[in-house]
Amino acid sequence: MKVHIMLFGQLADITGVDKITVENTLDTDSMVKSLQNTYPSLTQSTFVIAVDKKIISANTLLTDQCTVALLPPFSGG
């Protein structure tokens, strides 16, 4: 099972990439833990998670080929 992760703003700066594909990730909690292990600076970051363009507020099961976006805080102008 592949999951596509898109990173924006400071999160892309921290990781050095704006897209990551991971395999065998069952839910958003385990995905975040895995990313934080790979990129320890993410533990200090605040972000919202969207799965297939819907913002989530709790751990969510992931499906094959779904797209997850990690969205840092932003302000309008």
**Domain boundaries in the chain?**
2-71
pLDDT tens over the chain, length 77 residues = 999 999 999 999 999 999 999 999 999 999 999 999 999 999 999 999 999 999 999 999 999 999 999 999 876 65
Residue-level pLDDT at 3: 97
- Can you give the pTM of this predicted structure? 0.91
CATH superfamily of 2-71: Beta-grasp domain (3.10.20.30)
**12 and 71 Cβ atoms separated by less than 8 Å:** no
- DSSP secondary structure string, 14-60? HHS-SEEEEES--BHHHHHHHHHHHSGGGGG---EEEETTEE-SS--
pLDDT at 15: 95
